[in-house]
Amino acid sequence: METATIEKQIEVNQEGYLKDSSQWSEDWAKKIATENNIPLTPKHWDVLHWLRKKHEEGVALSIRKVGNSGLVDIKQFYGLFPGGPLKIASKIAGIPKPVSCI
């Protein structure tokens, strides 16, 4: 079993995604963002909270859906989370890796 420690011990899967998204905190997000060299701005937080909300609603997430969110377009999304925006943003948001990500 993989674990990560913030203020308490949190279970993650082999890829580092939270096993229980209810354990997410902003401290968790800051830690994962720092590990991925992503300085979190207010726009990052908007996207992260949007992803969490859609996940809670049971929406299957994709880059296209983020681009159509009204928060950012696809180019901005790639700029905020370079190198695999949906995969990285999902990890920071504490939600499972979307099935559309390899």
Which residue from 19, 17, 4 is spatially nearest to 90, judged by alpha carbons?
Answer: 17
Task: Check: CB of residue 91 under 8 Å from CB of residue 13.
Answer: no
Q: Which amino acid is at 52?
A: R
Read off φ and ψ for residue 90, nearest 5 degrees. Answer: -65, -40
Say which DSSP state 68 is in. Answer: T
Q: What is the pLDDT of residue 6?
A: 47
Which residue from 18, 26, 93, 24 is spatially nearest to 54, judged by alpha carbons?
Answer: 93
Q: How confident is the model at residue 92 (pLDDT cuts 50, 70, 90)?
A: very high
Q: Percent of the chain, pLDDT > 90? A: 67
Catalogue the active-site residues: 101
pTM (2 d.p.): 0.86
The residue-averaged pLDDT of 8-31 equals 87
What stretch of H or E contains 48?
helix 42-56
pLDDT greater than 60 at residue 75:
yes
The domain locations on the chain are 2-93
Higher-pLDDT residue of 24, 2: 24
Task: Check: CB of residue 81 under 8 Å from CB of residue 53.
Answer: no
pLDDT greater than 60 at residue 7:
no
